[in-house]
Structure formats: structure tokens, C-alpha cells
């Protein structure tokens, strides 16, 4: 058999299920699990086509007699991400593989977690003007979402005004009824626990509507947040790749999603999925697939994770991925806790009771409200904190079932001022930790505390917005601290978008998470891709980062969940400003091959780097992390000096001059050469060097450098630290 193929490195995902003992190859089904196995193509083996590739993959599997009743071993063969396959094997059979030529390694797969009427206008996106006009609202761009599926009948996915998909589109619609159209042009299912791409959770429908939902008038949730729902890129096409069951997203299926999306011809991928802890990119399927995607010119937006506010919790942090944190918007659905002493504390709730009594009711502290058997709460308003294992709405359900009249939900300390507009089971309000302390102190100050809740409806206008959500994961990116993460923050709190159907029968829902901020940025990337079709993924990313906002609507520095100024490990380059990103002046571009010396500089082995880039690599040269041509700096600086080079490309005005300014960075001396960049043509590249040297003994210093011309301001965030 003559075999030839373009790549020397492969990955096999082995799905291990059960079977009876048979022909010395089968073990008890309960002993099986899913592995990811990497292969290296032997030098004397050449693969000519996908059929021969399949035969080579099959050679790693045990022989199964033709009269057996076992399902086919190979479940999915990868052609673009690894060119591996998913198969059913026992642990003993995986061990047997280790002796076969081409075997490299095997590891168990992980199960990953799932991490709008107003947010487009909050971002300055208005129909027929500015960026939406310049990009034709994302026309011609295809956004692929890896998620829980999609409800194709939702009005957000109507194709009014949509052109046909681009000629390059090769995707499929796997619904067993005619559901795809010129908006939803593809839908595929890779989750073996599901039978179709139909969303059984709501998460995938919500992220799809956020990224590129079409216009829907009169969208609201229980009459709140009423308006015209629209995604960030309303003329972009959507393709759903269902890689998750309900809350379960297996790596094997994510790889299959990448494989299909690359072949189908998507332009942007949005992935609101991630692991609890970061791993090196050669062990991260999302990172490996994303590298293959950017090689094909596909932009990848990923959620940063919901493990904040703790440091070092960033997920999806590889530098070829846009890592997105979550912030608030300036819309709130107000419910005010009114106490017997006259004090009022503003909270939020999507349950707006029109006829809740203004009469003051007894107020009682129920703790975490997960065990109310010993407390008489009947007819009372119950204080509940957010600790414990119950969700916010589950606490309300428990309180209602115990006979209470209403609930005041109080944040734990770590959650600060981040509150949510949930659909509660009873009249309720969710208040901040700090206001909660005042309410608790009131209950202790009198023998008969009383309260009521006043519902005020939707209000737009919050000078603290955007404010970082407590749950938004924080840097440093522990795998590579020399890359500043997150890259950007975007709307991710109380986002109204498409839903399958809420318990109250609504077809829109308000939910929160970096899962929501990620598709916002995917939509922004689609707009920029449509406006600048020649820009690389790194160029689009640079434009987003160097033009981001650092101040809120009150013109003060963006704050965190405690209303303290947010540091760069919380906001990265700042809050996305799509209009400015469309015309950034200068960009920091990176070609896929530029990541190889960066990866080698992390002291990864040749084989580990090869796993990521899908070709044989010999790490004969390497660079420090901070030497990568990234739009921001993260420098581990000791007592000596360090110098790094950056190269910028002129995409603004042909004849332009930029001068540099250093902002902040106390305790660090910066020497920048040259301090003036003079351009004489578009797409001209110029380089500069930055030398860092400590002037005082500080462990962390943050600031920015800004290159300014008469028209443009191009800012790079800088974090200088010292690892012990």
C-alpha cells in the first residue's frame, strides 16, 4: 500500500466503551475511558488519500471478527486538526499500541465546561452608520460556534435581508427537517449523546444570537429590557457545531468540530468552553485546534473562564487565541430593598412583581437558605447569601416552597458589586455584598426588622459600566506569564439574547458569563473581517487590543467587582471599542510560523511543539515570551535590563509620523528607540526596541506605551513583574 500525506504528526482520540471479553481484545465496559493518542508518521510510510489514512488508523485497532456484534471501532477520523481518529478501545489495548511504529503518547481526554437588545448600542454599533455601515454588518463572513446546538426556529435566525452563503461554503445542515437558511447556513452534531444539532440547553442558541442574530422587534424578558434584539454582526452567516451535550463538552467532539469547521470554510470561530485549569498548549485541544484554524486565516475567540476573581485562573490563554473576559453593560432591571429604617438599597431582578405589597413585612436572615426547616419564614422576606451549592434561583425556589413572601439575595464578599437580573420564583432582589452588610446590620439593630421590595423596571445609564464581573477569570496566564492575559473584556453580564424557551415561556433570556462576552468579540471580529478581508487573525486581534477603552461611562478608570480600579491582569488591554478597532492606525501582525520560536522558548520539546504546529520541528532557535510581536507586554524583570523588539504595520495614513509616550510603570525605567516612527506608505513596517530596567524594588508595575500621530493613538498595555 502506497501512503502519502502532508503532515508527519497526528492525534488519535480514543473513545473507550465497554464490551464483553472477546478474542483477548475486550475488557469490561465499566473499565473504559476516553484517551487522546498522538502519533508520528513513520518516515517509510506515505499516505495518498483519506482512505489510506483510515486504513493506517485502523491498523492501530485490535482485530474484531466479522461475526461480532460490536459497533465499529472508529467513531471519527480527523483530517485537519491532527488527522487522528476517535475509537473504542480498552486501556490494555491502548497499552498495546505503545509498541506500534508511530505511537507517541496517550492521555485521558478531559470533559470541559460551558464557561441582545442593548449591548450592540452600548458598544457604539448603530445600524447603517460607522462600523456596521463600513462592514455591511458583517456581510459575507461566516461565524462558526462550538456549543450546545441551536434552535433553528428562533426568530433571531430568520434570513430577512440575508444574501446566500459565500461560494466557498462547504458545510452541512444535519437537521432532519428544512431548518437552515441564508442566516443559519450550517448545523452539525458531534456530541454522541445527542441525535441532532438541536439545542437542548439554550446556551448555544444564546451565544449564536449574541454573535450574529438577525433583527427581532419587541424582544424582552417578562416585559423587561424591551427593544429590538440584534447580534453584533447581524448580516454574518452562522454555522453551529454541536460539540456539547447538556453541560458536557468532550475533547473528542471539540476536535471533530474544528476538523469540520476548517473544512467547511468558516471565517471566525467562537468557543465559550474551557477547562477548570490551564494546561500547556500541546495538551489543550482548544489551543491545538485554534492553531490549525489561524493557519487557515480563521479568527478564534474564546472565553477566559468563570473562575474569578482569583489570580492565575485564565483559561484558553494561548497567544493565537483572543481571550475574552466579562464586563457589565449600562442596563439594569431595578428592584430596591426598602428597610424599616427608611434606607434603600438598589439591586436587580428580572422578576418584576407588578402588585407586590408596599406593606413592610418581617425580615429574617436565612443564611445560605439551603436548609430552612428550623426557621419560620412564612409570610416574611428572607435574606439569603450566595454561599453554598444552590444556584441563585434555586435559593429563591427553596424560600418560596417554605412559604416566604420574598427574598433579598446578598453577595458573598468575593462577588462584590456584581449582581444579576435573574428570573426568580418569587419577588426578589439581588444586592451587593457591601449593601448586604448594611441590611444585615439593620436586622441586628432592632428586635422587629421589616422590609419590602420596590420594583422599578428597566433603567439604562450606569456610569460604573463597563465594570468587570467578579467571575471573570484573571491573569497571569500561568502557562506563559510572558503573555498578558486576558486580552480584552466585553459585555458578559445580564445579556439578553435568543433562548429556546424559559420556564416562563419567553423566547429570550438574560444570562451571564464569559460565555456571553466571547461571542460579542466573535461578532466584532466578523465586522472587522468584512471591513478588512486582507487582515490576518493577528491583525484583527491587534486592532481590537490597541484601541480598547480604559475608562467607563463616568470617564473614570474601569473598575473591578469591588469598584476599585481594575488592573491589567483583570482587563488586559481594556474594554472593546469596535469603532476604533476598525481604524487602528498601526497593527502588530504575527504569522503562524512566528509562534514556533516562542513555543521553543517555553522549553517545550521538539515533539511537544510539533504536536501543536502539526509538522516536525527542531528547536534550533527560540525567543523569550515577551519577544513575540504581541500587542501588549508582560515582562518578568529581575535586577538587570531586558530589551524587546516590536514591529508595527501602517494601516492608517500613508504619510504619518508617530511619537511615543510612556504612561505609568512606576519603579521601571523604559528606554524606547527610536522614539519617532515615520511612515511613507501603507503597509510599511517599522520596528522599535523597548529596554526595561528596574529603578525601585517593586514586584508589580503596570502602565502603557502609546504611539500617537495627528489622527491615531495606538496603545500597548505593559505589565512588569518579578517571579520569586
Active-site residues, by number, are 147, 203, 515
Give me the phi and psi of 295, to 5 degrees please. -60, -30
CB 30 within 8 A of CB 101: no
- d(C-alpha 37, C-alpha 86), whole Å: 9
Q: What is d(CA 476, CA 634) in angstroms, rounded to the nearest whole number?
A: 9
Alpha helices per DSSP H over 588-722 = 595-601, 606-613
Q: Which burial class, exposed, middle or buried, applies to 45 when counting CB atoms under 10 A from its CB (0-12, 13-18, 19+)? A: middle
Our measurement of the distance from residue 412's CA atom to the centroid of its chain's CA atoms, rounded to an integer in Å, reads 25
The rounded distance, in Å, linking the Cα atoms of 19 and 632 is 52
DSSP letter assigned to residue 362: E
Nearest 5°: the CA angle 505, 430, 390 is 75
Which three-class secondary structure state does DSSP give residue 120? helix
Find, among 586, 590, 621, the residue nearest to 712 by Cα. 586
Element (H, E) at 75: strand 74-77
Phi, psi of 29 (to 5 degrees): -60, -30
Distance CA 615, CA 292 (A): 11
Q: What is the C-alpha separation between 32 and 88, in angstroms, rounded?
A: 9
Is residue 206 within a helix (H) or strand (E), and if so which, with residue range? helix 203-212
Per the CB < 8 A criterion, the answer to whether 327 and 560 are in contact is no
Sign of CA dihedral 559, 562, 565, 570: negative
Strands 142-147 and 268-271 turn out to be: parallel
Cell 442558541 identifies what position? 205
Q: How far apart are CA 216 and CA 304, in angstroms?
A: 29
Q: Please answer whether residues 165 and 182 qualify as being in contact, where contact means their C-beta atoms are separated by less than 8 angstroms.
A: yes
Q: Where are the alpha helices (DSSP H) in 488-577?
A: 514-531, 537-546, 568-571
Cα distances (angstroms) measured from residue 568 to each of 297, 332, 463, 485, 715: 28, 26, 20, 8, 13
Q: Please compute, for residue 429, the number of CA atoms within 13 A of its CA located in the half-sphere on the CB side.
A: 29
CA neighbours within 13 Å on the CB side: how many for 508?
31
Cell of 197: 444539532
CA distance 650 to 163: 33
Side-chain-facing half-sphere of 201: CA atoms under 13 Å: 21
SS3 call for 451: strand
> How many distinct helices (H) and strands (E) make up the chain?
15, 35
Contact 268, 298 (CB under 8 A): yes
Question: For residues 165 and 162, what is the distance between their CA atoms, to the nearest angstrom?
Answer: 9
138: left (phi over 0), alpha (psi -120 to 50) or beta: left
Amino acid at each position: 500500500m502506497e501512503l502519502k500525506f502532508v503532515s508527519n504528526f497526528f492525534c488519535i482520540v480514543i473513545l473507550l466503551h465497554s464490551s464483553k471479553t472477546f478474542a483477548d481484545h475486550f475488557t469490561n465496559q465499566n473499565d473504559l475511558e476516553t484517551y487522546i493518542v498522538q502519533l508520528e508518521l513513520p518516515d517509510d510510510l506515505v499516505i495518498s488519500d483519506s482512505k489510506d489514512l483510515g486504513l493506517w488508523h485502523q491498523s492501530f485497532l485490535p482485530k474484531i471478527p466479522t461475526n461480532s456484534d460490536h459497533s465499529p471501532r472508529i467513531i471519527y477520523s480527523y483530517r485537519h486538526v491532527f488527522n487522528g481518529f476517535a475509537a473504542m478501545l480498552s486501556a490494555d489495548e491502548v497499552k498495546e499500541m505503545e509498541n506500534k511504529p508511530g505511537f507517541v503518547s496517550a492521555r485521558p481526554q478531559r470533559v470541559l465546561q460551558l464557561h441582545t437588545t442593548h449591548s450592540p448600542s452600548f458598544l457604539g454599533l448603530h445600524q447603517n452608520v460607522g462600523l456596521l455601515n463600513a462592514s455591511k454588518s458583517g456581510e459575507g463572513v461566516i461565524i462558526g460556534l462550538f456549543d450546545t446546538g441551536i434552535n433553528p426556529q428562533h426568530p433571531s435566525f430568520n434570513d430577512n435581508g440575508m444574501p446566500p452563503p459565500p461560494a466557498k461554503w462547504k458545510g452541512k445542515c444535519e437537521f432532519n427537517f428544512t431548518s437552515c437558511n441564508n442566516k443559519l447556513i450550517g448545523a452539525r452534531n458531534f456530541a454522541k449523546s445527542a441525535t441532532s444539532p438541536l439545542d437542548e440547553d439554550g446556551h448555544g442558541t444564546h451565544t449564536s444570537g449574541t454573535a450574529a442574530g438577525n433583527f427581532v422587534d419587541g424582544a424582552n424578558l417578562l416585559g423587561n429590557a424591551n427593544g429590538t434584539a440584534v447580534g453584533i454582526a447581524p448580516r454574518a452567516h452562522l454555522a453551529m457545531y454541536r460539540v456539547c451535550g447538556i453541560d458536557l463538552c468532550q475533547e473528542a467532539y471539540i476536535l471533530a468540530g474544528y476538523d469540520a469547521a476548517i473544512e467547511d470554510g468558516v471565517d471566525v470561530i467562537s468557543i465559550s468552553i474551557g477547562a477548570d485549569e490551564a494546561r500547556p498548549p500541546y495538551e489543550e485541544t482548544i489551543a491545538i485546534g485554534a492553531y490549525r484554524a489561524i493557519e487557515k486565516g480563521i479568527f478564534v475567540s474564546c472565553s477566559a473562564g468563570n473562575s474569578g476573581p482569583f489570580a492565575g485562573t485564565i483559561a484558553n490563554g494561548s497567544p493565537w487565541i483572543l481571550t475574552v473576559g466579562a464586563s457589565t453593560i449600562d442596563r439594569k432591571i431595578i428592584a430596591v430593598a426598602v428597610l424599616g429604617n427608611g434606607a434603600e438599597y438598589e439591586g436587580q431582578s428580572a422578576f418584576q412583581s407588578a402588585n407586590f405589597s408596599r406593606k413592610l413585612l418581617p425580615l429574617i436572615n436565612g443564611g445560605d437558605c439551603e436548609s430552612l426547616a428550623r426557621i419560620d419564614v412564612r409570610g416574611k422576606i428572607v435574606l439569603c447569601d450566595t454561599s453554598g451549592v444552590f444556584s441563585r434561583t434555586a435559593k429563591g425556589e427553596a424560600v418560596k416552597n417554605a412559604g416566604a413572601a420574598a427574598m433579598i439575595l446578598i453577595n458573598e464578599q468575593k462577588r462584590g458589586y456584581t449582581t444579576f437580573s435573574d428570573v426568580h420564583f418569587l419577588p426578589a432582589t439581588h444586592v451587593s455584598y457591601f449593601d448586604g452588610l448594611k441590611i444585615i446590620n439593620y436586622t441586628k439593630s432592632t428586635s422587629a426588622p421589616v422590609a419590602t421590595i420596590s420594583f422599578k423596571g428597566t433603567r439604562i445609564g450606569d456610569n460604573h459600566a463597563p465594570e468587570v464581573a467578579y467571575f471573570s477569570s484573571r491573569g497571569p496566564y500561568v502557562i506563559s506569564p510572558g503573555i498578558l492575559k486576558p486580552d480584552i473584556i466585553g459585555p458578559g453580564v445580564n445579556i439578553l439574547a435568543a433562548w429556546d424557551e424559559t420556564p416562563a415561556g419567553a423566547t429570550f433570556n438574560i444570562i451571564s458569563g464569559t460565555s456571553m462576552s466571547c461571542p460579542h468579540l466573535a461578532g466584532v471580529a466578523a465586522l472587522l473581517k468584512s471591513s478588512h478581508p486582507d487582515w490576518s487573525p493577528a491583525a484583527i486581534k491587534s486592532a481590537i487590543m490597541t484601541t480598547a477603552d480604559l475608562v467607563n461611562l463616568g470617564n473614570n478608570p474601569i473598575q473591578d467587582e469591588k469598584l476599585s480600579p481594575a488592573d491589567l491582569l483583570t482587563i488586559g488591554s481594556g474594554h472593546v471599542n469596535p469603532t476604533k478597532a476598525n481604524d487602528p492606525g498601526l497593527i502588530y501582525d504575527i504569522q503562524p510560523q512566528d509562534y514556533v520560536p516562542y513555543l521553543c522558548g517555553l522549553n517545550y520539546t521538539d515533539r511537544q511543539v510539533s504536536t501543536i504546529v502539526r509538522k516536525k520541528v527542531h528547536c534550533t532557535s527560540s525567543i523569550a515570551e515577551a519577544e513575540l510581536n504581541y500587542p501588549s507586554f508582560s515582562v518578568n524583570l529581575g535586577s538587570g535590563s531586558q530589551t524587546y523588539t516590536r514591529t508595527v504595520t501602517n494601516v492608517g495614513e500613508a504619510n504619518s509620523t508617530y511619537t511615543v509616550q510612556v504612561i505609568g510603570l512606576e519603579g521601571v525605567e523604559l528606554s524606547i528607540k527610536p522614539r519617532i516612527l515615520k511612515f511613507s506608505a501603507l503597509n510599511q513596517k517599522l520596528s522599535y526596541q523597548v529596554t526595561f530596567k528596574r529603578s525601585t524594588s517593586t514586584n508589580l508595575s503596570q502602565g502603557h506605551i502609546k504611539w500617537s500621530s495627528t489622527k491615531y493613538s495606538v496603545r500597548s498595555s505593559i505589565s512588569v513583574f518579578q517571579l520569586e
